[in-house]
Structure 1
């Protein structure tokens, strides 16, 4: 049997995200946590940097030739376009983390030759580690997971994200369109965690008009391996510049594609 060249990387990632989760959890709800601003409603803490440093150090030690793309600047170039690229969000949902809300996570994905080879999303507060490997299914703490069986909008709840890179009317229009279709929505402030919840059948879909690759690649791998559908994301300059994201349980695909296409075309 031919060995999986990504097995050792996946095992390293699983160990590192748990270590990083413990680091982040040790500072969660700290009264002395410093919060900096990267932009409008875009925050960062020293813990974001510390978690990314832990992840990057572990990857560089084990796989020094791999490329790394981290949200907080932990980049390390590979030698060729076919090299493995680790895509890291040390804390997705930083404002939730800073406010003591348990809706944040650590996201790690590995991309090679345009394919997401694996993705991991760890919610340390709930001690839930979501993992997926290309062609090998999706799991939460080792338990196989599947997207929901929702078929009708009135039975569904769709996660929404808000991007200040796009007109505010897109978000307001999305809320109205879903409610007009008698479909519920949720915005929890973490795209990565929302996608993990879609993979686990706890949300039925997720849409955001623009999002960065480190927020979504692990979650998209989870959803596809859990039997879900997602629109193509890794095209153009998405890895560094982001793209829209839409992912859902398959039965809601046509409804959501039509709904959000109508909003963006308006």
Structure 2
């Protein structure tokens, strides 16, 4: 039998004491029970038992039982000496004893039985030990453990990070103004060529704009001052053109031989042809 809660058992004991029959009811109940046994001994044992006793029993312990007032409260139980008792068989005795036991149980335990049945649903359910869920780790067979290699994963956070490239800040305009980058070294020849080239250009421009006679004098001056000039071809082309313009063709022809040997540009050759040959080829 499943054990009940101790608190529930104490509550049942308290209720059983509260629902006890009133004083004198137990004696009257036993007297009525003896009377019923005496009547049962004289009835036909072969008759069918309908499950009900003669007389009325209201089953209320709070009120007086409906008993015969002429009956003795404690008559002796003489089932064997009653008339017709010797004719009862083994089966009949069992039937009548069961009937008597049922009547006694109904009179004495009706209240407690009802109380117990009413309190039974309130019992705390207890799960059997076999139904308790147990958590177990999954078993891995030897074959599975052998076929699955174990790998070690190294977190990325533990790996040494490559050194970050050092970024040099770009110089601000103010810094560049304060510390200008050093200019490329200029050779002495280039520094000297600047003023010389300017003087050559100025003299050639003056000879080009001057009349023929003045132009020839300036060109001769240019040849004397700058014999290795980078503008020698421009100077000779202008001189030949000026000689032809003043009718000095023989001098012009003598000057054209070294001029053509120097392979001047096509533009300079065309300038000489137009001045001396009249544009004829």
> Shorter-normalised TM-score: what interval?
under 0.3
TM-score w.r.t. structure 1 length?
0.21
Hey, which of these two has a bigger chunk of helix by percent?
A: 2
Hey, which of these two has a bigger chunk of strand by percent?
A: 1
Of structures 1 and 2, the one scoring higher in RCO (CA 8 A, sep 6+) is 1
Q: Choose 1 or 2 for highest CA Rg.
A: 2
TM-score w.r.t. structure 2 length?
0.20
